[in-house]
């Protein structure tokens, strides 16, 4: 067994926001418990100034355990990253434990709040994961969070390339990721990889009336348990380590859903008619129960494009529901979208599942939002449904995707993701960023589809759409190439038991 005290965002600085007594209280707790390692995931100082580093060095002296500290955005303010090396140690590196490794990475950008793991550091990180691939336990520490955090307000500040890092870590079987930054503790499991986000250790700037906290982590061969240790209370999160092997029979097939986005109807070359027509032939031949269009139906929200949409969409021979992308509602699309589709926030019901559509698009902006009011409504209808499965669809991404800067995320992605995971929504379908991707966060499968017939794609496999097959025991998500109809599996997951 291995035990880590995961602390973050102490914001040590003379005066200001720093709460010295709280800091000492947590240090006493850490010293009195059998932790093997203390990891501080950044923002150790508030200002990155020399006085703050001097003070930090003094404050951490009483910690009597091996300790790794990585820099946060605050530590790099005023070119503080140079002082970080002088007072605290390397910005990046590998800590080798007996049977584990911890790779720590500086994601700060001087004088900016958002983070980045630049291309050469990304390659270094990858080389370390290759080098230590045989280690039984692989841990990565990085200040900026990978997955959106609840209670983060509109300030997203995730890593520019969070999706690439997530993808890399999953390819190399990283077991545990440690982060901080948002001053709100949160733990999720993404396809079995546990992401521990520590709250604020000793800074007054907590969120939503919370108190200071740190995370206690216990790793055994069977599972990883993260306990969020607030000053007055604690909450445990346990995730099994052994990735479940799917050699079980799939059982009876219950439903098939086709997920499309980015049809991009227009007279421009950007709309690839042949791909659309071939895709529709294939979709009809698959006889799905439902087609779910996750937005960007038209290239621009103008009458001519909507006329084309009326014409082309008629070719789909199965029930179809729609949620708008930003392109569908710009210009006069806001008037034309409901005329084409029958309304906003569309739903669909079968005895097995209920579909809930949410309009996350805003005029003239790539950034989406569900909003507090919209999220509350959504939570209420999900709680009231009778069917065993719930499916939510919206245009914008709720988790970061590879090869895409995080700007496509929802402004309130952290709150939306947390709420849908807490409600154990079975499937969340999105259609932004033209990249096919599927993953599972806690009990919720998230599937993003590529553009079906728009020239702007980010996958070498070409334009595609997703097919989601729901069996008694499994859910299988594949992408199908729009032009050729060839198929590639994006993921297979066990269905949630009820
Ligand atoms: Fe911070
Ligand atoms: Fe930070």
pLDDT tens digits, 280-332: 999 999 999 999 999 999 999 999 999 999 999 999 999 999 999 999 999 99
Residue 164 in tokens: 């690439």
Q: Tell me, what CATH number does 122's domain have?
A: 3.60.21.10
Q: How far apart are CA 12 and CA 69, in angstroms?
A: 13
Predicted confidence band of residue 367 (pLDDT cuts 50, 70, 90): confident
Run of H or E including 27: helix 20-32
- Alpha carbon distances (Å) from 445 to 427, 448, 459: 5, 10, 21
Domain identity same for 268 and 359: yes
Residue 408 pLDDT more than 60? Answer: no
Domain identity same for 338 and 429: yes
Judge whether 82 lies within some domain.
yes
Predicted confidence band of residue 248 (pLDDT cuts 50, 70, 90): confident
Domain identity same for 204 and 266: no
Judge whether 17 lies within some domain.
yes
pLDDT tens digits, 11-65: 998 876 899 999 999 999 999 999 999 999 999 999 999 999 999 999 999 999 9
Q: Which residues surround ligand 1, an ion (CB under 5 A)?
A: 9, 43
Domain identity same for 291 and 225: no
CA neighbor of 496 nearest in space, from 256, 225, 244: 244
Residues 6 or more apart whose CB falls under 8 angstroms from that of 171 comprise: none
Query: Which ligand number lies closest to the CA of residue 200?
Result: 1
Judge whether 420 lies within some domain.
yes
Rounded mean pLDDT of 91-112? 95
CA neighbor of 224 nearest in space, from 6, 444, 495, 498: 6
Total length of the chain: 498
CA of residue 109 to ligand 2 center, whole Å? 11
Contact assessment for residue 261 and residue 449, using Cβ atoms and an 8 Å cutoff:
yes
Query: Which ligand number lies closest to the CA of residue 44?
Result: 1
Predicted confidence band of residue 366 (pLDDT cuts 50, 70, 90): confident
Query: Which ligand number lies closest to the CA of residue 183?
Result: 1
Domain identity same for 220 and 302: no
Domain identity same for 28 and 173: yes
CA neighbor of 287 nearest in space, from 317, 326, 329, 248: 317
Judge whether 187 lies within some domain.
yes
Contact assessment for residue 461 and residue 449, using Cβ atoms and an 8 Å cutoff:
no
- Alpha carbon distances (Å) from 158 to 118, 216, 346: 14, 23, 30
CA of residue 47 to ligand 2 center, whole Å? 11
Give the whole-number percent of the chain exceeding pLDDT 70.
Answer: 97
How many beta carbons lie within 10 A of that of residue 270, not counting itself? Answer: 13
Instruction: Identify the domain containing residue 35 by its residue range.
Output: 2-240
Run of H or E including 98: none
Residues 6 or more apart whose CB falls under 8 angstroms from that of 465 comprise: 258, 259, 260, 261, 279, 283, 449, 450, 452, 479, 480, 482
Judge whether 230 lies within some domain.
yes
Tally the domains of the chain. 2
Q: Which of 187, 219, 240 is the last residue of a domain?
A: 240
Domain identity same for 220 and 264: no
Judge whether 54 lies within some domain.
yes
* Residue 497 pLDDT: 76
Rg (alpha carbons) of the chain, rounded to whole number: 24
Domain identity same for 168 and 257: no
CA of residue 442 to ligand 1 center, whole Å? 26
Q: Which of 200, 215, 240 is the last residue of a domain?
A: 240
Domain identity same for 82 and 33: yes
Domain identity same for 440 and 489: yes
CA of residue 9 to ligand 1 center, whole Å? 4
CA of residue 471 to ligand 2 center, whole Å? 43
Judge whether 246 lies within some domain.
no
Rounded mean pLDDT of 205-234? 93
Residue 240 pLDDT more than 90? Answer: no
* Residue 306 pLDDT: 98
Contact assessment for residue 418 and residue 461, using Cβ atoms and an 8 Å cutoff:
no
Domain identity same for 156 and 272: no
Residue 91 pLDDT more than 60? Answer: yes
Domain identity same for 64 and 152: yes
The runs of H, that is alpha helices, within 301-371 are 303-313, 326-329, 333-341
* Residue 282 pLDDT: 98
pLDDT tens digits, 64-81: 999 999 999 999 999 999
């Amino acid at each position: 067994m291995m035990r880590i005290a995961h602390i973050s965002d102490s914001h040590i600085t003379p005066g200001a926001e720093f709460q010295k007594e709280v800091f000492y209280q947590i240090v006493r707790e850490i010293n009195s418990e059998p932790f093997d390692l203390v990891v501080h995931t950044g923002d150790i100082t508030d200002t990155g100034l020399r006085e703050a580093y001097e003070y930090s060095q003094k404050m951490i002296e009483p910690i009597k355990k091996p300790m790794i500290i990585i820099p946060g955005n605050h530590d790099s303010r005023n070119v503080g990253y140079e002082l970080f090396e002088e007072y605290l140690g390397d910005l990046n590196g590998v800590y080798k434990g007996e049977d584990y490794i911890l790779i720590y990475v500086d994601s700060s950008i001087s004088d900016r709040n958002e983070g980045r793991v630049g291309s050469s550091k990304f390659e270094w990180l990858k080389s370390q994961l290759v080098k230590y691939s045989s280690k039984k336990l692989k841990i990565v520490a990085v200040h900026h969070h990978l997955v959106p955090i609840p209670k983060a307000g509109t300030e997203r500040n995730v890593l520019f390339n969070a999706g690439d890092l997530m993808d890399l870590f999953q390819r190399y079987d990283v077991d545990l990721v440690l982060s901080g930054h948002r001053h709100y503790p949160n733990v999720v499991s993404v396809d079995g990889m546990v992401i521990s986000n520590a709250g604020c250790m000793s800074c007054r700037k907590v969120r939503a009336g919370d108190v200071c906290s740190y995370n206690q982590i216990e790793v055994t061969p069977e599972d990883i348990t993260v306990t969020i240790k607030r000053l007055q209370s604690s909450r445990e999160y346990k995730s099994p380590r052994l990735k479940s092997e799917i050699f079980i029979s799939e059982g009876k097939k219950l439903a098939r859903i086709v997920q499309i986005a980015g049809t991009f109807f227009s007279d421009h070359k950007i709309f690839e008619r042949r791909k659309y027509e071939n895709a529709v032939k294939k979709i009809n031949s698959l006889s799905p129960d439902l087609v779910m269009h996750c937005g960007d139906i038209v290239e621009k929200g103008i009458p001519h494009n909507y006329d084309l949409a009326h014409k082309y969409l008629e070719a789909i021979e199965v029930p179809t529901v729609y949620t708008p992308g930003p392109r569908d509602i710009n210009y006069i699309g806001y008037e034309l979208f409901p005329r084409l589709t029958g309304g906003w926030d569309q739903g669909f019901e079968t005895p097995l599942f209920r579909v809930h559509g949410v309009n996350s698009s805003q005029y003239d902006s790539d950034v989406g939002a569900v909003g507090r009011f919209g999220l509350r409504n959504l939570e209420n209808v999900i709680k009231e449904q009778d069917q065993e499965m719930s499916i939510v669809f919206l245009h914008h991404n709720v988790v970061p995707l590879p090869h895409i800067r995080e700007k496509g995320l929802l402004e309130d992605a952290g709150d939306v993701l947390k709420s849908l995971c807490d409600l154990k929504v079975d499937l969340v379908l999105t259609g932004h960023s033209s990249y096919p991707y599927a993953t599972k966060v806690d009990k919720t499968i998230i599937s993003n589809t590529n553009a079906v017939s728009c020239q702007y794609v980010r996958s070498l496999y070409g334009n595609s759409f997703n097919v989601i097959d729901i069996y008694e025991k499994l859910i299988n998500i594949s992408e199908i190439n729009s032009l050729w109809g060839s198929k590639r599996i994006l993921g297979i997951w066990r269905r949630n038991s009820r």
